[in-house]
Amino acid sequence: MATAFGSSPYVIVQKYNSGQACVATELSGVTAYLADGKCHKTDTAKSYRAAQKADGSASVLSYTDAVCGTLGTQFTVSAADGSSHACVSDTKVYGAGTTPLYLTSTMNYDTTATTCSSGVPSLVSTAVANVDTTCLTTSVCTGSAAPYTGTKCSSASSYLADMGTAFGVNPYVIVQTFTTGKSCADEELSGITAYLADGKCHKTSSSASYRAIRNADNSASIKKYTDGICGSGETTTSLGTSQGACTADTKVYGAGTTPLYLTSTVNYDTAANTCKSGLPSYVASTVVGVDACAATVACTGQAAPYTGTSCSSTLTYKDDMAAAFGVNPYVIVEKYTASQSCADDKLLGITTYLADGKCHKTGSLTSYRVTRSADNSASIKTYTDAVCGTGETPTT
Question: Quick check: bond before 9 cis, omega within 30?
Answer: no
- Compute, in degrees rounded to 10, the torsion defined by CA atoms 181, 187, 79, 40: 160
- What is d(CA 102, CA 134) in angstroms, rounded to the nearest whole number? 11
- What is d(CA 339, CA 201) in angstroms, rounded to the nearest whole number? 33
Q: List CB contacts of 210: < 8 A, sequence separation 6 or more.
A: 123, 195, 201, 202, 204, 222, 223, 224, 225, 230
Query: Can you say whether the dihedral through the CA atoms of 19, 23, 24, 25 is positive or negative?
Result: negative
- What is d(CA 329, CA 370) in angstroms, rounded to the nearest whole number? 9
Per-residue pLDDT 10s for the chain (396 aa) are 999 999 999 999 999 999 999 999 999 999 999 999 999 999 999 999 999 998 999 999 999 999 999 999 999 999 999 999 999 999 999 999 999 999 999 999 998 876 777 789 999 999 998 787 778 888 888 898 999 999 999 989 899 999 999 999 999 999 999 999 999 998 899 999 999 999 999 999 999 999 999 999 999 999 999 999 999 999 999 999 999 999 999 999 999 999 999 999 999 999 887 787 789 999 999 999 999 999 999 899 999 999 999 999 999 999 999 999 999 999 999 999 999 999 999 999 999 999 999 999 999 999 999 999 999 999 999 999 999 999 999 999
User: Contact, 250 vs 257, CB < 8 A?
Assistant: no
Q: List CB contacts of 1: < 8 A, sequence separation 6 or more.
A: 10, 12, 32
- What is d(CA 353, CA 324) in angstroms, rounded to the nearest whole number? 12
Task: Check residue 135 and give its pLDDT.
Answer: 84
Sequence spans of domains, the chain: 2-96, 102-255, 261-395
Task: Check residue 275 and give its pLDDT.
Answer: 84
Q: Which of 266, 261, 255 is nearest to 194 (CA)?
A: 255
- What is d(CA 39, CA 256) in angstroms, rounded to the nearest whole number? 39
User: Contact, 223 vs 232, CB < 8 A?
Assistant: no
CA angle, residues 59, 61, 62, in degrees to nearest 5: 145
State the pTM of this model: 0.83
Q: Which of 371, 335, 326 is nearest to 353 (CA)?
A: 371
Determine phi and psi for 133, rounding to 5 degrees: -60, 130
